[in-house]
Amino acid sequence: MTTPNLTAAPIDTAAVDVSGLAGALWLIGAAVFALLAIFFIGLDQGMVSVFGSDLHVHEFVHDGRHFLGFPCH
Amino acid sequence: MERKFVLRGFASGALAGLLSFVFARIFAEPVIARAIDYESARDAAQAALDKAAGLPVAPAGAELFSRTVQQDIGIAVALVLFGMALGALLAVVFTLTQRGSARHVRPRTLALLLSGAGFVSVYLVPFLKYPANPPAVGHEDTIETRGSLYLVIQVVSVVAMVLAVQLGRALARTRGSWQASLLAGLAYLVVVGVTMALLDPVHETPGPLRDASGTIVLGGFDPDDLYRFRLYALGGQLILWGVLGLILGPWAEKALKQSGRPVVVSREPARV
């Protein structure tokens, strides 16, 4: 997946451009939301469970979990 | 700009998830329905065999949601939320690279390259070793092993992809982008290929069910349905990542143009 466009650029040190605290918080918040959502859709109440032996989340997203390729019961 | 990218990531992802749901509802759900029918028939046949052999019969689990809810609402919510999660992650990686290491790349191209790399490393490579399974395929008792194996190959694949891109960029300075891309791609394939060879295989597709005398009481899982389910699962992910990359890219580019910031940093400052 490397590309001709990406490759010829010189390696730069710290050219990440995030404008201040608010920008950083948006990025962190987005990443946290994403990982939580993926956890509940894909893993919770299967191989690990945060609500004990309850299966409501698992059963509700059941078809989606199979379809997305997560290992499911 | 971060806020704009993230919000547009959420929206693009939600749309991608919705389209993937429409695809799944039309193509995958009939296969899932047949798989669940098979699962019920198998449980019933197994219970009859156990009863005949004088073994204790496990009670059937209570149904928490009807099939209608699962196939019309549950999967829609799951796919839209999953799409939004992918959209958010793509927006984060896009924001972090767009002004930095990929500043010479047009933003809409970058978004598509990132979603392509994500599709291959997060989904396609793990899928090749541990493909998606319909209900009835896979033992309940091995969920932890299968889950761990899937996570291991996913993590190795994503880390290898990030390192391969770095390798490609480093090689490009001396060897040119063509050779650098091929070598980096080869390095990625070698790493994930060796990982696939080392990890334990999973063979859990139900074969024929036999009674004590060896007569087949119920056939194995329909191989055509297994193939169809996996093909549709792959198609659903292709829709998710493809739509996401194609929508977020141009949309983020528009935000950059409106803000008046340079969209692409030119490599040769002399030429305009």
**Domain layout of chain B by residue ranges:** 1-56+68-137+223-266, 140-204
Q: How many CB pairs under 8 A join A and B?
A: 228
Mean pLDDT rounded to a whole number for chain B: 92
Q: With a cut of 50, say whether residue A2 has pLDDT above it.
A: no
pLDDT at A68: 95
Mean pLDDT of chain A: 77
Mean pLDDT of B247-260: 91
The two structure tokens encoding residue B98: 């767009």
- CA nearest to A36 within chain B: B85
pLDDT at residue B206 tops 60: yes
Report the largest interatomic distance among the alpha carbons of chain A, rounded to a whole angstrom.
53
The answer to whether A1 and B121 have CB atoms below 8 angstroms apart is: yes
Which H helix or E strand runs over A52? none
Containing structural domain, residue A66 = 35-73
Domains held by chain A: number = 1
Q: How far is A50 from chain B (nearest CA, A)?
A: 15
CB contact under 8 A, B92 and A30: yes
Q: Is residue A23 part of a domain?
A: no
> Considering chain B, what percentage of its residues have pLDDT values greater than 90?
74
B216-228: buried (b, 16+ CB within 10 Å) or exposed (e) per residue?
A: eebeebbeebbeb
Residues of chain A positioned with their CB less than 8 A from the CB of B132: 66-69
Identify the band that residue A14 occupies on the pLDDT scale cut at 50, 70 and 90.
very low
Residue A47 maps to a domain: yes
Q: Which whole number is the average pLDDT over B9-20?
A: 97
Query: Which residues from A are below 8 Å from B245, CB to CB?
Result: none
N- to C-terminal Cα separation, chain A: 33
Distance between CA B272 and CA B269 in Å, rounded?
7
**Which of A3, A28, A48 is the best residue to mutate to test the B interface, defined by the most B CB atoms within 10 Å of its own CB?**
A3
Phi, psi of B55 (to 5 degrees): -90, 155
Query: Residue B269's pLDDT is what?
Result: 52
Residue B176 with chain A: CB contacts under 8 Å: 8
Residue A28: strand, helix, or coil: helix
Mark yes or no for CB contact B88/A31 under 8 Å.
yes
The CA distance from B266 to B270, in Å, is: 9
CB contacts, 8 Å: B140 with chain A? 73
B105·A6 Cβ contact <8 A: yes
Cα(A54)–Cα(A62) distance, integer angstroms: 14
For residue A15, name the pLDDT band (cuts at 50, 70, 90): very low
Subunit contact B132:A68, Cβ cutoff 8 A: yes
d(CA B194, CA B197): 5
The set of residues, in sequence order, having a beta carbon less than 8 Å from that of B106 and lying 6+ positions away, is A5, B253, B263, B264
* Any domain includes A10: no
For residue B208, is pLDDT > 80?
yes
Taking the CA of residue B193 and the nearest CA in chain A, the distance in Å comes to 16
Q: Is the pLDDT of residue B245 over 80?
A: yes
- Give a yes or no: residue A57 inside a domain: yes
Burial string for A53-73 (b: 16+ CB within 10 Å, else e) reads: eebebbbbbbbbbbbbbbbbb
| ipTM for this prediction | 0.89
- Which one of B12, B39, B70, B82 would you mutate to disrupt binding with A, by most A Cβ within 10 Å of its Cβ? B82
pLDDT at B193 over 50: yes
In contact, B205 and B226? CB cutoff 8 Å: yes
At A26-59, the pLDDT tens digits run 999 999 999 999 999 988 777 677 777 778 888 8
pLDDT band for A16, please (50, 70, 90 cuts): low
Nearest chain A alpha carbon to B171: A7
Which 8-state DSSP code applies to residue A44? B
**Which candidate from A7, A18, A23 shows the least CB-CB separation from B180?**
A7
The chain A residue lying nearest B112, using CA atoms, is: A1
Q: What is the pLDDT of residues B134-162, one digit of tens each?
A: 999 988 888 889 999 999 999 999 999 99
List Cα–Cα distances, B130 to A42, B127, B140, B152, B239, in angstroms.
15, 5, 16, 11, 20
Confidence band of B77 (pLDDT split at 50, 70, 90): very high
Interval B232-241: pLDDT, tens? 999 999 999 9
- Distance CA(B131)–CA(B125), nearest Å, equals 9
- Mutation target for A interface from B10, B32, B63, B75: give the one with most A CBs within 10 A: B75
Q: Tell me what the mean pLDDT of segment B172-178 comes to.
A: 93
- Does the structure show a pLDDT above 50 at A12? no
CA B208 to chain centre: 30
Q: Report yes or no: B132 and B229 within 8 Å, Cβ to Cβ.
A: yes
- Structural tokens at position B44: 């019933």
Whole-angstrom Cα distance, residue B198 to residue B196? 5
Of the candidates B122, B230, B73, B162, which has an alpha carbon nearest to the alpha carbon of residue A38? B122
Q: Do A60 and B70 touch (CB under 8 A)?
A: yes
**Element holding B17 (H helix, E strand):** helix B2-23
Q: What is the dihedral of CA B184, B189, B191, B193, to 10 degrees?
A: -170
The contacts of residue A9 (CB under 8 Å, 6+ apart) are B101, B102, B103, B104, B169, B172, B267
* Contact between A30 and B88 (Cβ < 8 Å): yes
**Residue A56, domain member (yes or no):** yes
The whole-angstrom distance between A51's CA and the closest CA on chain B is 15
**3-state SS, residue B217:** strand
Span B32-68, pLDDT tens digits: 999 999 999 999 999 999 888 888 877 766 788 888 8
Please indicate, yes or no, if residue A73 is contained in any of the structural domains: yes
Dihedral sign from CA coordinates of A29, A30, A31, A32: positive
Of A16, A46, A64, the CB nearest to B147: A46
